[in-house]
A = this chain, B = another copy of it.
Amino acid sequence: VSATWTTWAETEPELAPDAWTFLRRRLGAGVRPNSRPAVPREAVRLPEPTVPGGFVDRLSDIVGAGNVYTDDASRLDHAGGQSYPDLIRRRAGHVHAPDVVVYPPTPAAVAALLAACSDAEVAVVPYGGGTSVVGGVEPLAGRFSTVVCVDLARLDQLVAVDRDSLLAVLQPGLRTPAAEAALAAHSLTLGHFPQSYERASIGGYVVTRSAGQASAGYGRIDDLVLGLRLATPQGELVLPAQPGSAAGPDLRRLVLGSEGTFGIVTEVTLRVHPQPPVRRYEAYVARTWDAGLTALRQLAQAGPTPDIVRLSDHDETDAGLHLSTAARGGRTAMRALLTARAGREACLVIVGFEGTADDVRHRRRVTKARFRADGLRQLGQAPGQAWAHNRYAGPRLRDTLLSAGVLAETLETASTWNHLPQLYDEVRTALQHALGDAALIGCHVSHVYPTGASLYFTALAAARAGDEEQQWNVAKKAAGDAIRRCGATITHHHAVGTAHSPWLAAETGQLGIDVLRAVKARLDPVGILNPGKLLPVT
């Protein structure tokens, strides 16, 4: 899986010449394709792994000799996630790597692993798809000397399907495409489509409280988990599948968002859906960001909503048209059409419907009527299909940009509707101020709720060679502080990891942190599980 090393795809996609012209004009003349190549993976040298005497044998006894690796290639494959700092470090050849990588083949092996690592005082970093953009899979040792990366790739089975109840029992290491393929054999779908879809794992979704692009329809992963099994150093937490219950606090919700710090999910029972016979994506355009927000709010509150609802601000709308992989003529024509329909501040709206013909017809009609009443103009299916075609392309494009000396990173938040305009302004201003006037800051609403929405920011800037991490960290801190000032959440669906833990106490209060620590102390008294993640380091 060397593709995880620096690039998301096997090869970096190419941008059209006029896209480079656009980027140079916006970001600066220093932006040039392949001007900052990554250090080849083969050139990276790792320090010898630190492993207690006899411990590899003990691990081999538990998971089988063929499932324990200490070679450099295996360790490099598990050296962090997909944040800009992760990529920068890997491209420079400066990485943290785990000492050992193990592939437990059964849930029982996970449980035994955790007991053994707890006994030996060895840190454990659970690893699913490796797509964390918040440092969630960073192989940190905490107060220990050894890090074991527990890659769940061999726990990749669809265990059971209950067609009557529309439930599926899945193992955590299933990547989404494999999960969907297995469910498709039963004419079912999970309906969870985040941008990390191609690589992210079922277990990762659960422990990070993921939200897919179609979560307005299918629901966040929080809403799809009916039951689960969590292996912990103190035994197994088994929570049966229940459609609804008042039997005390819902402990499933403690596992959701626990990011591998309480245990490792070994099985999850998820709500699934019949595969939709109709999928239809289409576009509208709003004259301004505020007009778009109002239209989305009214649609989300009145219902029924589309399954996908997105609103890009003007800068993102414009940049998207310059950087898309569509032919130049098509992009130019679309820009002209947007301006003609909605003026110089045009904001693109994408909606998507998945369901039966009757259901899609009704929801499309409601959406069209509301959007028209709010002054939005229809753009038809072509831009919607173009969006759907490129929905997972972002991560691939990023490597192309980094090789050209472009800082490319995203961050996201959410708030109630009444605070959303201020949140947008403050975060945007913070990023622009930190990254400079030439930086391109785009934003879109990625998820809508009746009570609020998420904002997803993308920043592109000329990278400061040799100082890339610090350049981003300053911007990230400014944005996080702005989010905090607005009383919004530090993350809507990327999770906490290391990147957001400095802000967690401001969101839950110190007593909230103390409650999480009390839970962790009960399940992981030695503290081996994912040190330095989620909970603020003290």
Is A115 in contact with chain B by the CB < 8 A criterion?
no
| Closest chain B CB from A43 CB (angstroms) | 36
Q: Given the known A-B contacts A515-B523, A519-B518, are A414 and B237 also in contact in the complex, defined by CB atoms under 8 Å? A: no
- State how many angstroms separate the Cβ of A369 from the closest Cβ of chain B: 9
| Stretch of A383-391, A396-404, A490-498 with 4 or more beta carbons under 8 angstroms from chain B | A490-498
CA distance A256 to B254 in the complex (A): 12
Answer whether residue A516 sits at the interface, using C-beta atoms and an 8 A cutoff. Answer: yes
- Is residue A181 contacting chain B, with contact meaning CB distance below 8 A? no
Contact with A251, one of B240, B362, B515 (Cβ below 8 angstroms): B515
B165 near A416 with CB under 8 A, answer yes
A409 sits at the interface (CB 8 A): no
Which residues between 226 and 253 of chain A lie within 8 Å of chain B, taking CB atoms? Answer: 226, 232, 234-251, 253
* Complex interface: chain B residues within 8 A of A508 (CB): 237, 239, 247-248, 251
Residues of B within 8 A of A246 (CB): 208-211, 257, 489, 491-496
The residue in chain B whose Cβ has the minimal distance to the Cβ of A234 is B511
Of the candidates B248, B366, B516, the one whose C-beta lies within 8 Å of that of A259 is B248
A255, CB-defined interface residue at 8 Å: yes
Interface residues of A in 462-481 (CB under 8 A from B): none
A186 to B471 CA separation, bound complex (whole angstroms): 48
Asked if A245 and B523 sit within 8 Å, CB to CB, the answer is: no
Query: Contact check: which of B243, B254, B415, B534 meets A449 at CB < 8 Å?
Result: B243
- A511-B236 contact, Cβ under 8 Å, with A248-B534, A253-B253, A492-B246: yes
Q: Which of A149-157, A333-341, A451-459 contacts B (4 or more CB under 8 A)?
A: A451-459
How far, in whole Å, are A359 and B237 apart by their CA atoms in the complex?
Answer: 42
Which A-B residue pairs are the 10 nearest by beta carbons? Answer: A243-B452, A253-B253, A209-B246, A165-B416, A245-B489, A518-B522, A243-B449, A249-B257, A164-B418, A165-B417
Extra contacts, 11 of them, besides A237-B509, A240-B487, A518-B519 (Cβ < 8 A), are A234-B514, A242-B488, A243-B453, A245-B492, A246-B495, A247-B500, A248-B496, A249-B258, A250-B256, A251-B512, A304-B359
